[in-house]
Structure 1
Amino acid sequence: MSAYRIALNFEDGVTRFITCNAGEKVLDAAFRNKINLPMDCSDGVCGTCKCRAESGRYDMGDGFIDDALTEDEAAEGLILTCQMVPESDCILSVPTSSGACKTGQKSFEAIVVGITEHADAAVVLELDTSGESAPNFLPGQYVNIDVPGAGLCRSYSFSSAPGESRLGFLIKKIPGGVMTSWLGRAKPGDRLTLSGPLGSFYLRETRQPLLFLAGGTGLAPFLSMLELLARQGSSAQIHLLYGVTRDLDLVLVDALEAYAARLPNFTFATVVADANSAHPRKGWVTQHMPETLLQQAAVDVYLCGPPPMVDAVRGWFAETGVTPASFHYEKFTPNAVLKAIA
């Protein structure tokens, strides 16, 4: 009997994964997993269980009435979980908080297996879940990592692909920062507690060319996305612009070169803001946008970077009149990830 993985993304950023058996309705599968999705009638009459299907194939049958879900709503990807029977893995956006559905973040432990410093710019942290089940997440999402002895947590996007027991994170060095200070004395074998996954910034189903815009350590979620796309053998046209402040901030370029070799239609360009740099492309990413790609009929744009970069890109789209088919973005600060999506 086939079973499908369903990702439930709640309004507060929490994501929970459930398994839905062949022929089983999502609402029933959620209840079986002790997640109380919104419902009232469970017969396709009231529309209380309405959610949005971000990706995947499914059958809605004919057991609901138009008042619960109109043809226009169905065409826009809205579904009723009390009627939806998945025919593949699916991602659903649930328009309420995880707490309202009697669920929440999951926590798990991992062991430090690698710490690689990149000058004073960043640290690559590698963790292993040490025999526990590999955490489920969507490429682009993040977790909260408790900083040992500090009573604080910090948020970092996965740079590794879903389904792996070894997890990767690209962490910006902050002088005097809580996580930076701990990493300076951390050693292999140290244990960390993580909670998540979290965030509504993740790779959707690929139907058209992709433009990835990364600022600094905002490169991390794109590495996760690229790894998944490479494993899928994607032939989609993908271009990544990677903008940093200084030459030293350009890290993991070798990883991008490796993806260019694995993905037939992936290209990337690096940009350095420092006017004194000898880098061939200087300035801001908005000065190096791929006009040919953006002039196509449809392109999906993903953006992850510090707030000034995100605001600048959004302003550039408004000023130039370029309207992507979809635009997903996430702002981050040195101490936390702030999700935002449009």
Structure 2
Amino acid sequence: MACYKIALNFEDGVTRFIDCKAGEKVLDAAFRNRINLPMDCSDGVCGTCKCRAESGAYDLGSDYIEDALSEDEAGEGLVLTCQMVPSSDCVLSVPTTSFACKTGQQSFAATVAGITPHNDAAIVLELDVDAAAQAPVFLPGQYVNIDVPGSGLTRSYSFSSAPGERRIGFLIKKIPGGVMSSWLARARTGDRLDITGPLGSFYLRNDERPLLMLAGGTGLAPFLSMLEVLARAGSQQKVHLIYGVTRDLDLVLVEELERYATRLPNFSFATVVADRASSHPRKGWVTEHMPADMPADGDFDVYLCGPPPMVDAVRRHFDETGVRPANFHYEKFTPNAVLKESA
């Protein structure tokens, strides 16, 4: 019997995944998984269970009234979970908190499998999920909170690996004296880490139109996860990534992008170094190196992950040029806290 994976994204950033059987309504599947989605009637009359379908295929049937869900609302992707029967994996935005639905963040443990420094700029951390835990399921682009042993503190990092793998990866900015950087300097293979997540509203949606990806520094991490998912799906969509850094030494994992250029037929990328004294062929800001063939009518989606000044500069660029992307998803981060603002 077919079974579909439904991602429930709550207002507080928590994401929970449930399995929905063929012919089963999402509300029933949520209750079966002990998640109390909002509802009053469960008959398509009150509209209390209204959510937004971000992606996926489904049937709403006809057993609901106009007052509960209008034709215009349905056309905009709003659904009644008491009537929604998925026919594929789906992503739903739930207009309330995980706490209100009597659920919360998921936690799991992992052990260090590898620590690879890249110049003085970044560290690739690979972890093996404990055998007793399920391989983490997340949306490509999302992040987790990792407890830093002995510090009582957590740090947030986006997955650089694909969902569902037992070995997971992260690209971490190396910060002299930083809590995580200091721990990684003395960590050993087999050391245990406690992790909470997935979290965040920055993730890859359906690739229905050309994609422009803009990465700043270690903001490259979520795009590596997205590109892996696109490659495995055999995506034919046009994708261009601009990877901007401050110094030459900050350019890491470029060989990974080169590999994706061979696996994804319509993927291209450009690297940009802000340091004007660099010998790199492209210097300056990412906004100075936007693709010349970007559709003027805005028929493309933008994904942006970088420090706040970069995010603000890109938003100003689109405002000043009058270009309005069909969708603009962004994530701001600071060196010590990833995903403090998403849209």
Q: TM-score, normalised by structure 1?
A: 0.99
Alignment correspondent of 1:24: 24
Equivalent residues of 2:332, 2:342 under 8 A apart: no
Structure 2 counterpart of 1:230: 231
Counterpart of 1:184 in structure 2 is 185
1:114 is aligned to 114
- Equivalent positions of 1:50-65 (< 5 A) are 50-65=50-65
CA deviation map 1:198-226 (0-9, x unaligned): 00000001100000000000000000000
Secondary structure class of the residue paired with 2:339: strand
Aligned pairs (5 A) from 1:148-227: 148-227=149-228
Deviations 1:58-116 (A, max 9, x none): 00000100000000000000000000000000000001110010001011000100000
Q: How does 1:286-325 map to 2 (within 5 A)?
A: 286-295=287-296, 298-325=299-326
Shift, 1:296, TM fit? 5.5
- Contact conserved, 1:199 with 1:339, CA < 8 A, in 2? no
Deviation of 1:335 after TM superposition, in Å, equals: 1.1
Task: Specify the SS of the correspondent of 1:99.
Answer: coil
Displacement of 1:6? 0.2
CA offset at residue 130 of structure 1?
3.0
CA distance in 2, matches of 1:313, 1:297: 15
Taking structure 2 as the reference length, what is the TM-score of the superposition? 0.98
In structure 2, what is the equivalent of residue 96 of structure 1?
96
Distance (Å, rounded) in 1 between the aligned partners of 2:269 and 2:296: 18
User: 2:63 aligns to what SS in structure 1?
Assistant: coil
Say if 2:297 and 2:323, in contact at 8 Å, map to a contact too.
no
Could you tell me how far apart the structure 2 residues matched to 1:338 and 1:4 are? Answer: 28
- Report the equivalent of 2:80: 80
Quick check: 1:258 aligned with 2:263? Answer: no
Whole-Å separation in 1 of the counterparts to 2:41 and 2:254: 53
CA offsets, 1:255-311, max 9 Å, x none? 000000000000000000001100000000000011312435510000000000000
Deviating above 6 A after TM superposition, structure 1's stretches of 4 or more consecutive aligned residues are: none
Q: Deviations over 1:162-213 (max 9, x none)?
A: 0100000000011110000000000100000000000000000110000000
In structure 2, list runs of 5 or more residues that go unmatched.
none
CA contact (8 A) 1:123 1:170 kept: yes
For 1:233, give the aligned amino acid. Answer: G
Q: Report the Cα distance in structure 1 between the residues aligned to 2:97 and 2:298, rounded to whole angstroms.
A: 35
Matched, 1:270 2:277: no
What residue ranges of structure 1 are gaps of 5+ in the alignment?
none
- Per the alignment, in what secondary structure is the counterpart of residue 228 of structure 2? helix
CA distance in 2, matches of 1:294, 1:141: 28
2:124 is the alignment partner of 1:130: no
Q: Which amino acid aligns with 1:105?
A: Q
Could you list the per-position Cα deviations for residues 113-160 of structure 1 after superposition, in whole angstroms to 9, with x for gaps in the alignment? 000001110000000013222101000000000000000000000000
Matches of 2:296 and 2:140 in 1, distance apart? 27
CA contact (8 A) 1:306 1:332 kept: yes
Alignment correspondent of 1:141: 142
C-alpha separation in 2, matches of 1:259 and 1:49: 40
Q: Is the 8 A contact 1:117 1:124 kept in 2?
A: yes
Aligned length: 342
Match of 1:242 in 2: 243
Letter in 1 for 2:197: G
Corresponding letter in the other structure for 1:29: A
- Paired with 1:196 and 1:220, the residues of 2 have a C-alpha distance of 16
Alpha carbons 2:200, 2:342 under 8 Å: kept: no
CA contact (8 A) 2:4 2:20 kept: yes
User: Are the aligned partners of 1:300 and 1:327 in contact in 2 as well (CA < 8 Å)?
Assistant: yes
